[in-house]
C-alpha cells in the first residue's frame, strides 16, 4: 500500500518535471522562430522594422506567459502530491 502511494507521488513529480522541461523547450523554440522570422522580415522591409519589432515583442511575451503558466501548473502538480 505504501509502495503504491510512493510510486504515484514519484510519477506525479516526474511528470511535472518532464512537463516543465517541455514547456521551457517549446517556449525557446517558439521565441527563436519568431525572432528569426522577424529578423528576416526586417531585412526584407527595413521601413517596416518598427511594426515588425513591436509585433515580435508582443508575440514573444504571449509565448513566455504560456510557458510560465505551464511551469506554474507543473509546480502545483508537484507540490500537490
Residue-range definition of the domain harbouring residue 52: 25-80
Mean pLDDT of the chain: 92
pLDDT category of residue 46 using cuts at 50, 70 and 90:
very high
**Angle, helix 49-80 to helix 2-44, in steps of 10 degrees:** 180
Domain count of the fold of the chain: 1
State the Cα torsion 68-71-75-80 to the nearest 10°. 100
Asked if residue 8 is part of any domain, the answer here is: no
Q: What pLDDT shows up at residue 77? A: 86
Q: Output the domain CATH number for residue 45.
A: 1.20.20.10
Rounded mean pLDDT, 53-63: 96
Q: Which residue has the cell 514573444?
A: 60
Rounded mean pLDDT, 55-68: 95
pLDDT category of residue 81 using cuts at 50, 70 and 90:
low
Question: What percent helix, strand, coil does the chain show, rounded to 5?
Answer: 95, 0, 5
pTM of this structure: 0.79
Asked if residue 7 is part of any domain, the answer here is: no
Amino acid at each position: 500500500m505504501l509502495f503504491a502511494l510512493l510510486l504515484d507521488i514519484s510519477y506525479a513529480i516526474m511528470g511535472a518535471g518532464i512537463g516543465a522541461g517541455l514547456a521551457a523547450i517549446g517556449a525557446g523554440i517558439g521565441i527563436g522562430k519568431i525572432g528569426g522570422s522577424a529578423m528576416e522580415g526586417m531585412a526584407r522591409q527595413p521601413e517596416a522594422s518598427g511594426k515588425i519589432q513591436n509585433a515580435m515583442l508582443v508575440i514573444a511575451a504571449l509565448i513566455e506567459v504560456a510557458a510560465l503558466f505551464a511551469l506554474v501548473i507543473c509546480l502545483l502538480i508537484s507540490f500537490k502530491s
